[in-house]
Amino acid sequence: MATDFWASSHNKRWIVDRATLKQARSEDLQYVESAEHIDFLNIYFANLIAMLGKRLPLRQRVIATATVFFRRFYVKNLYCETDPFMVIAACCYVAAKAEESPVHIKNVVSESRQMFSQEGYGIKNFPSDNSKLAEMEFYLVSDLECDLVVFHPYRTLLTLCGREAAHAVVSEAGEVGVGIDNGPRYWGTGEGRLELGEGPLQTAWHVVIPYSNLTERCAFELFHRFIINDTYRSELCLLYPPHMIAIAAIYLTLVLNDKTRDAIQAQSAAPAPPPRRSSRTNTGSAHRKPAPVPQQDFVGFMAGLRVSLPTVAMIAQEILSLYTLWERYSDTAPESGLGASAASGVSAGDDVVTPAFLTQLLLRMREARLADLAHPASGQPMATNKRLGRTQAVG
Amino acid sequence: MVDDWSQALQHDVMRVYRAKRDEAHRHVSHKYTILGFISSGTYGRVYKAQSKDEDGKLHAIKKFKPDKDGDIATYTGISQSAIREIALNREICHENIVALKEVILEDKSIYMVFEYAEHDFLQVIHHYSQTLRSHIPHDLLKSLIFQLLNGLLYLHDSHILHRDLKPANILITSTGIVKIGDLGLARLTYQPLQPLFAGDKVVVTIWYRSPELLMGSKHYHKAVDCWAVGCVMAELASLRPIFKGEEAKLDSKKNVPFQKDQLLKVIEVLGKPDEREWPGMKHTPEYHNVKRLEDSPSRLDSWCKQRSLPPVAINFLSKLFIYDPDKRMNAREALLHSWFQEDPQPTYNVFKHQLNTPSQLPPQRRITLDEAPSMMPAQPTHAQHLPAQFTQPQHLQGQTHGSVTSFASLSVSHGGHTRKKTRLG
């Protein structure tokens, strides 16, 4: 059912475990010096999707959907065997349609070409032919198994923040008709896994941030939204249901907000990314007991959620380590620094990682992969390899 | 050799990926035997097919038209309506909605494989009007509407508007289960990023289009489907469309015209809408046009009595035909209506009371040979015009064998080996 997460394709087919993710990247890992590089690629590609999305322009939810499509595609495929830039463009194109706000294919092609050819990204050969993107769309939709409805933590945020009107659940009519389930319950108690009443939640929320203080409330929501946006730089959207990510983001917001509220309020006029540096100092607090929150009611609020708090803490922990990693990634850093060290085969270490470096990394991975396909270590040519060979012979 | 490859890869990075995918691909023709052609529409064509699995189940395969650049099928992007139908069908699951078994993307075309339904409402109407020349029995009519509403309630509870309910889109299996089909115009309305009118200027086939849509409302809701259910019920009762108006076509600037004729047909039966009963009417774009139309009293009661509907059914229908969309009976209220509590009660097999007299049952769906060259990708004769790397002698071989349907032969000709070469070319 399209509004019940528990019955959705998202929940049934696209929440994967860590072993699956590890398996998905295992072959890519053979072509990088450090496993961290793969994490940087994850950040890089998500940034590209967000930036391409802004140029098209796509709404935030469409960008999020495109990112989830991208992550799902690479559960099944290898970075070193595909063209992530083409996949990014196709993800944006399909996501726009799936979210009912389509953009014309030629806009996607021209914006992609322009953006990817910029210095720093260095992809000069993005095809100008619409049919190339349309062909990729075909393969992408096929690899996504046609599951195009995606759930996002934003929805939970709106519910929790009381922005969304309370759902009119007509409970007594549940018996009507055969096999009818009540639709509008996003927080469906259907499977008894999650029981959240909106009333108590909102109350708790108001205690944490009084209604009267609207500026603060907005700043709070903004901060929370930023954290959610940031989670798409990682693979969290494949590992956890969106409401768990939303709750982890609420938790982090409450933890971090104490020290950063002033800063956010100053920024709320012109929204800017949250000051991430503060996250480091708070890393220690991200464990089971949400102690450092000034408002005592928050503890009750979290406990009342009846979700696995260790899982929430784990997600929060992962978001924090994402920030730590992200601090070393720079979209703006000059090309020279790491590009040079990468060329000489030196590991990135603690230096700043740039898009240019990551593009080069990807191209080298691709070349090495190709060489391996031509001369497999086993001496037994792989199926793909055989076919390529045959084509070569024919052509 | 590696140099050659990296050169090739610079031109086409996704070669290895495509080769892998194409190899893993299971072709439509390997999984299904096409039994014949069912129908066609603007979207493409529908075929009856049998699974080659042991169960040998029947399916309806909907093949979307491939986009064409001249004679050669090319990739131009999947249509919004195909994306919708695929996306929604993957999420929903209900006994009264046609189930999607799988989607196969192949040869630049999309194949949606649905469960097979032997009949549809239109066919039942034809059977009773042409062959039996009698009313549809009341028990059958009631069961049909009940199951239709049951499926509709599921869609509405899932925040999906169907937007194209009509007799031809409502199917019935050979076991007498109603299945709502064709979600090509359907839309998820939960927190839309775009308003409903932004995507589709015209929704719902004209005879089944609700007054708020006819009057140009841009913000409409589930009530448009409920109006259509009313029209379908009236059509089952009278064996012809109740409001059979002429559609005014879009002008050259694609402006939506005032649907005067259709509204007149509605007013003929229901009388002119009253502002006191439908206050929102004042705000519709076509309000001034409607005001000018002549008034006439509602004669729905006598219309229904002529078709021997009992009073409780008349009450039921009149609630589906309430002008004000906010007051119109919704699917849940309709299912709870006393009409369904009264005998005869709706049955699980809608044909339950007809089973003893087989002549009452509608005939099996007719299938024909496919005579649609337009749906064929590159014909053998076209091969000459294709760039060198696309021509394949094997292609011709497959084509000359011919087979029961051109659809099947088309799949054969593109099967296996040859296709992969085309890709790798």
- pLDDT reported for residue A294: 42
* Residue B231 burial (10 A CB sphere; 0-12, 13-18, 19+): buried
Same domain, A108 and A245: no
- pLDDT reported for residue A159: 57
Residues of A in contact with B23 (CB under 8 A): 383-384, 387
* Residue B355 burial (10 A CB sphere; 0-12, 13-18, 19+): exposed
- In a 3-state reduction of DSSP, which class is residue B68? strand
Q: Does residue B86 contact residue A139 with C-beta atoms inside 8 Å? A: no
- In a 3-state reduction of DSSP, which class is residue B256? coil
A40 lies in a domain? yes
Sheet with B170-172: strands ordered across? B119-120, B170-172, B178-180
Which residues of chain A from 190 to 249 reach within 8 Å of chain B, CB to CB? Answer: none
Q: Which residue has the higher pLDDT, B198 or B345?
A: B345
Same domain, A111 and A189: no
Minimal Cα distance from B186: which residue of A? Answer: A100
Rounded-to-integer distance, Cα A172 and Cα B119, Å: 34
Residues of A in contact with B143 (CB under 8 A): none
Q: Which residue has the higher pLDDT, B309 or A291?
A: B309
Q: How many CB atoms lie within 10 A of CB A185?
A: 18
**Each residue's pLDDT tens digit in chain A (395 positions)?**
456 788 889 999 999 999 999 999 998 888 888 888 899 999 999 999 999 999 998 999 999 999 999 999 999 999 988 999 999 999 999 999 999 889 999 999 999 999 988 877 888 888 888 888 999 999 999 999 999 999 988 776 555 544 443 333 332 222 233 333 333 333 323 232 233 334 333 433 433 444 445 566 666 677 777 888 888 999 999 999 998 888 888 888 777 765 444 444 444 434 444 444 443 444 443 444 444 434 445 666 677 777 888 999 999 999 888 888 888 887 764 443 333 344 434 444 457 888 888 888 888 888 888 888 777 665 554 444 444 444 444 43
Same domain, A162 and A46: no
- pLDDT reported for residue B41: 77
A1 lies in a domain? no
Which residues of chain A from 178 to 197 reach within 8 Å of chain B, CB to CB? Answer: 178-184
- How many angstroms separate the CA of residue B403 from the nearest CA in chain A? 28
Which residue matches tokens 């906010």? B326
A261 lies in a domain? yes
**Is residue B72 over pLDDT 80?**
no
Query: Last residue of some domain: A304, A326, A348?
Result: A326
Cβ separation A183–B13 shorter than 8 A: no
Give percent of chain B with pLDDT exceeding 90: 49
Is B164 labeled as catalytic in the residue annotation?
yes
Sheet with B109-115: strands ordered across? B32-40, B44-51, B58-64, B109-115, B100-106
Same domain, A104 and A194: no
Contacts of B130 (CB under 8 A, 6+ apart): none
A47 lies in a domain? yes
Name the CA radius of gyration of chain A, rounded.
Answer: 23
Same domain, A262 and A307: yes
Give me the residue from A8, A9, A100 closest to B187, CB to CB: A100
Beta strands B109-115 and B119-120 are: unpaired
- pLDDT reported for residue B68: 65
Which residues of chain B from 157 to 176 reach within 8 Å of chain A, CB to CB? Answer: 157-160
Cβ separation A134–B91 shorter than 8 A: no
Rounded-to-integer distance, Cα B316 and Cα B338, Å: 8
Rounded-to-integer distance, Cα A36 and Cα A39, Å: 5
Rounded-to-integer distance, Cα B411 and Cα B10, Å: 32
Same domain, A244 and A123: no
Cβ separation B93–A155 shorter than 8 A: no
User: Does residue B9 belong to the interface with chain A, where contact is any CB pair within 8 Å?
Assistant: yes
Express each pLDDT in B404-425 by its tens digit: 333 333 333 333 333 333 333 3
Query: Last residue of some domain: A285, A311, A326?
Result: A326
What average pLDDT does the structure give for chain B? Answer: 82
Minimal Cα distance from A137: which residue of B? Answer: B77
Considering the candidates B107, B139, B164, B370, report the single residue annotated as catalytic: B164
Q: Does residue A198 contact residue A192 with C-beta atoms inside 8 Å? A: no
Domain count of the fold of chain A:
2
A353 lies in a domain? no
- pLDDT reported for residue A52: 93
Same domain, A379 and A312: no
Q: How many CB atoms lie within 10 A of CB A165?
A: 7
Domain interval for residue A315: 154-268+296-326
Q: Which residue has the higher pLDDT, B238 or A222?
A: B238
A347 lies in a domain? no
Q: How many CB atoms lie within 10 A of CB B295?
A: 9
User: In angstroms, how far apart are the furthest CA atoms of chain B?
Assistant: 85
pLDDT band of B198, cuts 50, 70, 90: low
Measured between alpha carbons, how far is residue B305 from residues A118, B71, B98 in Å?
Answer: 74, 56, 34
- In a 3-state reduction of DSSP, which class is residue B73? strand
Same domain, A164 and A73: no
Same domain, A200 and A311: yes
Q: How many residue contacts between A and B have a Cβ separation below 8 Å? A: 182
Same domain, A177 and A301: yes
Beta strands B119-120 and B170-172 are: antiparallel
Residues of A in contact with B76 (CB under 8 A): 105, 130-131, 134
Residues of B in contact with A387 (CB under 8 A): 19, 23, 420, 424
Instruction: Enumerate the H helices of chain A as residue ranges.
Output: 9-13, 18-29, 35-55, 60-76, 84-98, 105-116, 130-143, 153-160, 198-208, 214-231, 236-239, 242-267, 278-282, 297-303, 309-326, 336-343, 355-374, 383-394
User: Does residue B99 belong to the interface with chain A, where contact is any CB pair within 8 Å?
Assistant: no
- pLDDT reported for residue A3: 64
Beta strands B100-106 and B109-115 are: antiparallel
* Residue A216 burial (10 A CB sphere; 0-12, 13-18, 19+): middle
Same domain, A88 and A158: no
Minimal Cα distance from A130: which residue of B? Answer: B76
Cβ separation A388–B190 shorter than 8 A: no
Measured between alpha carbons, how far is residue B198 from residues A182, A333, B130, B186, B192 in Å?
Answer: 29, 42, 41, 14, 11
Express each pLDDT in B372-403 by its tens digit: 544 433 333 333 343 433 333 333 333 333 33
A113 lies in a domain? yes
CATH number at residue A246: 1.10.472
User: Does residue B156 belong to the interface with chain A, where contact is any CB pair within 8 Å?
Assistant: yes
Express each pLDDT in B253-279 by its tens digit: 777 788 889 999 999 999 999 888 999
Residue A16 DSSP code: -
Read off the amino acid at residue B398.
G
Give me the residue from B83, B92, B194 closest to A98, CB to CB: B83
Contacts of B425 (CB under 8 A, 6+ apart): A391, A395, B389, B390
Same domain, A206 and A315: yes
Q: Does residue A53 contact residue A92 with C-beta atoms inside 8 Å? A: yes
User: Does residue B68 belong to the interface with chain A, where contact is any CB pair within 8 Å?
Assistant: no
A346 lies in a domain? no
Residues of B in contact with A183 (CB under 8 A): 154, 156-159
- How many angstroms separate the CA of residue A371 from the nearest CA in chain B? 6
- How many angstroms separate the CA of residue A314 from the nearest CA in chain B? 30
Cβ separation B1–A134 shorter than 8 A: no
- How many angstroms separate the CA of residue A165 from the nearest CA in chain B? 11
Residues of B in contact with A137 (CB under 8 A): 75, 77-78
Minimal Cα distance from A96: which residue of B? Answer: B80
User: Does residue A297 belong to the interface with chain B, where contact is any CB pair within 8 Å?
Assistant: no
Residues of A in contact with B187 (CB under 8 A): 100
Express each pLDDT in B320-329 by its tens digit: 999 999 999 9
- How many angstroms separate the CA of residue B335 from the nearest CA in chain A? 7
Q: Which residues pair with B47 in a beta bridge?
A: B37, B61
Q: Does residue B51 contact residue B32 with C-beta atoms inside 8 Å? A: yes
Cβ separation A146–B91 shorter than 8 A: no
Containing H/E element for B103? strand B100-106
pTM of the model: 0.78
Cβ separation A141–B93 shorter than 8 A: no
User: Does residue B19 belong to the interface with chain A, where contact is any CB pair within 8 Å?
Assistant: yes
User: Does residue B113 belong to the interface with chain A, where contact is any CB pair within 8 Å?
Assistant: no
Which residues of chain A from 111 to 140 reach within 8 Å of chain B, CB to CB? Answer: 125, 130-139
Cβ separation A100–B193 shorter than 8 A: yes
CATH number at residue A372: 1.10.472.10
User: Does residue A177 belong to the interface with chain B, where contact is any CB pair within 8 Å?
Assistant: yes
Rounded-to-integer distance, Cα B157 and Cα B159, Å: 5
With b for 16 or more beta-carbon neighbours within 10 A and e for fewer, the B267-287 pattern comes to: bebbebbeeeebebbeebebe
Give me the residue from A134, A137, A170 closest to B332, CB to CB: A170
Q: What is the ipTM of this complex?
A: 0.80
Give me the residue from B17, B156, B159 closest to A81, CB to CB: B17
- How many angstroms separate the CA of residue A157 from the nearest CA in chain B? 13
User: Does residue B265 belong to the interface with chain A, where contact is any CB pair within 8 Å?
Assistant: no
- Evaluated on CA atoms B419, B421, B424, B425, the torsion sign reads negative
Contacts of B211 (CB under 8 A, 6+ apart): B227, B263, B266, B273, B323
Cβ separation A141–B108 shorter than 8 A: no
- In a 3-state reduction of DSSP, which class is residue B109? strand
Most A CBs within 10 A among B4, B13, B189, B330, hence the mutation to make, goes to: B13
Q: How many CB atoms lie within 10 A of CB B66?
A: 19
